[in-house]
Structure 1
């Protein structure tokens, strides 16, 4: 702060000193000119007057009286002359004019310096404000990044806890089934039953680990969503074909109705995974000899895909929970699953700017609605 004030004051002092120097130089110049003019005037008077030179010098240096002034006015009037045009008067006028120019010039230079200084201060203030804004922005970004890092740390800890909890039951069941299947204390039929139970638990573990791998890849951005134009009708048919065997095994019919042939802007592979997950979920919870209806409607800027089953439906208290990782509803006890399918489906749909929701049908069943953006 002290250095800045010194830099500002120094030019002002320099200009003032220069101006004072010019005034002193002008005064010395005037004194020199007056001395020259006085001596020259004395010489002219001595050449043209009969008065003795000592008396002339004495009269020249003597102080003027009222009589001298009156006599001078009479001479001016008599000969039509004016002492205002004398060399002395001109010298004084030049002196005053030069001093006026010096003062005005100094004033203008000081004003220019003040204006320049104000502009420089304003520029410095703007730079300081920009730096402050940049600092605040970077601070906010750092705080957001820190908060996100803390949330990710919490999510990692929560994920580890969830995975350990979800693996604990099937691993314990697998261990018990394998112990019985390999034991000589039980009959061949009992050991065969427990071998089949062990195989079921292994399949559950495989299904769960596959879902966990996909979730991990999605959450760590190892899976990149690359949307492009694709036919909604073709995509829906592919999803139905991917689960049709499971539907046939339960004598469930999948009916494709009101499907429009519109192009949507989606990632083909992962959107197929999302729709297939919802269809597979509907097959799991639907009783045998029922129908699952699939429709696709075009709205203003997006399409709505509906998958309607005739299962037990989902209670209002659970409709927002079913998309949580590893969540298993109260109707899930008799159904195989890992609790990651709908969570992964929600991630895929929302990553593409879509939504997913569920509501119950009357008299029974669930209606899953997914939205996807129309192609441009």
Structure 2
């Protein structure tokens, strides 16, 4: 309809110019007619080209809606459609990024649920077995108390697993807002050691602290303490009775540092690159755990612009070095 209207206007304008020319000169009439025809053909070609670009742009937008990732807007960098195509290009990039994020989140949620269900299966099976044994009327009071203690330990481990997994998931999703407080390393170590003191005493492991200095860093006391507690638990579990776990704090112009060293058997060299991976469980070093305590510690420390590294010490034992940098590197 618009094309017919546009052509009708062109014909009327041409007639308005040609008719007066008929009364003056035939050559003038011919020239006006030819000029009008050339202008009409040129305008039609230009309009057709523009319409073709608009239709192609519409097809590209339709392709985007069908999740076509190969569409490019480079051919629209010049001309009157350049501004519109540039805005559509920005929108396309953002939509692709959001689509990728949604796919990653979906895959992460799927893997997290599979990991949790896998890790809960063994303790749940043990709980069901103990509950079945407790139904027996022949149990003595001593046996019943032992079963209840086993149940409590299993349920406590399951609770810790679920809470730790939820914390890791929230950190991965950037849903955790870490505090930006001045944290004393001495206070952090004292608080963390206190939380594992009973475990160390039952295991027969001595915890020593060397806090001649009291460096500070900007971070979250609560989450960082949970991370240090996980590292201390790991050190205690792998230190034999009569051994020691030493926690040292020191600082420099670059960073505030905390070192946790034990006198255990150390970490197999081939497993050092993997011990901070979620649910990594080797045949030796991490076989008795769920494989997320060290991963949680790594997540918390890294999220606060810190670093956590593991190594072995001579003659034996493992060392965990924590660095909180005073400037972002």
Taking structure 1 as the reference length, the TM-score comes to 0.60
Whether the aligned pair in 2 keeps the contact of 1:264 and 1:372 (CA below 8 Å) is yes
Matched, 1:307 2:260: yes
Distance 1:332 1:281 in 2: 10
- What aligned pairs does 1:107-146 form with structure 2 within 5 A after superposition? 125=78, 129=82, 131-146=84-99
Residue 281 of structure 1: aligned partner: 234
User: Residue 191 of structure 1: CA displacement?
Assistant: 5.2
**CA-to-aligned-CA distance 1:143-195 (integer Å, 9 cap, x gap):** 22211211111111111111111111101111111111212466666555444
In 2 relative to 1, CA 347–283 (structure 1 residues): closer, same or farther, beyond 3 Å?
same
Whether the aligned pair in 1 keeps the contact of 2:250 and 2:258 (CA below 8 Å) is yes
**CA-to-aligned-CA distance 1:38-88 (integer Å, 9 cap, x gap):** xxxxxxxxxxxxxxxxxxxxxxxxxxxxxxxxxxxxxxxxxxxxxxxxxxx
Q: Which runs of 5+ in 2 are unaligned?
A: 7-16, 18-76
Please, what is the CA RMSD of the aligned residues? 3.3
Distance 1:296 1:127 in 2: 64
Residue 36 of structure 2: aligned partner: none
User: Residue 129 of structure 1: CA displacement?
Assistant: 4.8
Whether the aligned pair in 1 keeps the contact of 2:183 and 2:221 (CA below 8 Å) is yes
Secondary structure in 2 aligned to 1:141? helix
Residue 113 of structure 2: aligned partner: 160
Task: Name the larger-Rg structure.
Answer: 1
Aligned with residue 301 of structure 2, among 349, 353, 356:
349
- What aligned pairs does 1:38-57 form with structure 2 within 5 A after superposition? none
In 2 relative to 1, CA 157–252 (structure 1 residues): closer, same or farther, beyond 3 Å?
same
Matched, 1:253 2:206: yes
Taking structure 2 as the reference length, the TM-score comes to 0.68
**CA-to-aligned-CA distance 1:207-237 (integer Å, 9 cap, x gap):** 2223233234333444311222222222222
Distance 1:130 1:235 in 2: 55
Aligned with residue 322 of structure 1, among 257, 262, 275:
275
In 2 relative to 1, CA 230–203 (structure 1 residues): closer, same or farther, beyond 3 Å?
closer
Residue 374 of structure 1: aligned partner: 326
Aligned with residue 249 of structure 2, among 296, 300, 311:
296
Of Structure 1 and Structure 2, which has the larger fraction of its residues in helix? 1
Aligned with residue 359 of structure 1, among 287, 311, 314:
311
**CA-to-aligned-CA distance 1:99-130 (integer Å, 9 cap, x gap):** xxxxxxxxxxxxxxxxxxxxxxxxx9588555
Q: Which runs of 5+ in 1 are unaligned?
A: 7-16, 18-123
In 2 relative to 1, CA 232–186 (structure 1 residues): closer, same or farther, beyond 3 Å?
closer
Secondary structure in 2 aligned to 1:372? strand
How many matched pairs?
261
- What aligned pairs does 1:1-376 form with structure 2 within 5 A after superposition? 125=78, 129=82, 131-184=84-137, 193-257=146-210, 259-331=212-284, 335=288, 337-374=289-326
Whether the aligned pair in 1 keeps the contact of 2:214 and 2:250 (CA below 8 Å) is no
